[in-house]
Amino acid sequence: MSENRLDATFARLREEGTAAFVAYLAAGDPTLDATLDLVLALEAAGVDVIELGLPFSDPLADGIVNQLAAQRALESGTTTAGVLALVRRIRERSQIPLVLFTYLNPVYTYGFEAFHAEAAAAGADGVLLLDLPPDEAVANAELTGTHGLRQIRLIAPTTPPARMRDIGAGGEGFIYYVSREGVTGEQSSLATNIAENVAIIKSGSGVPVCVGFGISTPDQAAAVARTADGVVVGSAIVKTIAAHGQDPDLPHRVADFVRPLVAATKAARAGT
């Protein structure tokens, strides 16, 4: 596929005047086979982009829900090679954009160049390394071989406006704006400065801006979709998987949970 799937999807959604719905899954939770079924079910439910979490034993940016998901994935035997094999299996049945979401340690241990080469060949579209600052990536030659994978950057709400614009200017695929301080997890309310900070990022960036951390209800998804290019939901989905992980109907249960969130995201700009 000559055009990156992320770029193509966001271009299409821009033309349609709607926001993207991005779903996070911990690959291997409860098993890699189950993750394949979940990806297909989420795509059928209207999800636009999947973030596949590559499990790591010390997920410092994650709250307890995603920490436990990573632990379950590791206990089920999930490895970096296994996740790359999963990407290949997904590509046999789907062209949904895939972003590998993880930390630098497992990628660097695998081999930075080898990981990116194999991930691109398997069919991934982007990589989000939570603990790799953009400045470090630029300053180290061994961290530059990305084989066309979009390098997704995080921007925190504590980032000064000038740096928000600088990071946004070098963005690829999309910018992931973290809506609040702290770790991942559901929140009862949204931060009040999301629209303001999204506008600052977009003033210096030519790529879409997606907002995540804490979004768990249709109303929250709709509120974010009115100002951002995408809505990211992770912990709320992972929590649903944890509750029904042994249920043979797991993919349908997760799809049923996500469908109202997708609908709210898509309807937000139409005012319906």
Q: Spot the catalytic one: 48, 62, 172, 229.
A: 62
**Residues 236 and 203: beta-carbon distance below 8 Å:** no
Dihedrals phi, psi of 144, to nearest 5 degrees:
-110, -10
51 annotated active-site: yes
**Residues 76 and 34: beta-carbon distance below 8 Å:** no
Gap between the Cα atoms of 81 and 78, Å rounded:
8
Gap between the Cα atoms of 202 and 181, Å rounded:
20
Largest CA distance in the chain: 49
Q: Indicate the DSSP class of residue 31.
A: -
* Residue 264 Rama label (left phi>0; alpha psi -120 to 50; beta): alpha
Q: Spot the catalytic one: 7, 29, 43, 51.
A: 51
Catalytically active residues are 51, 62
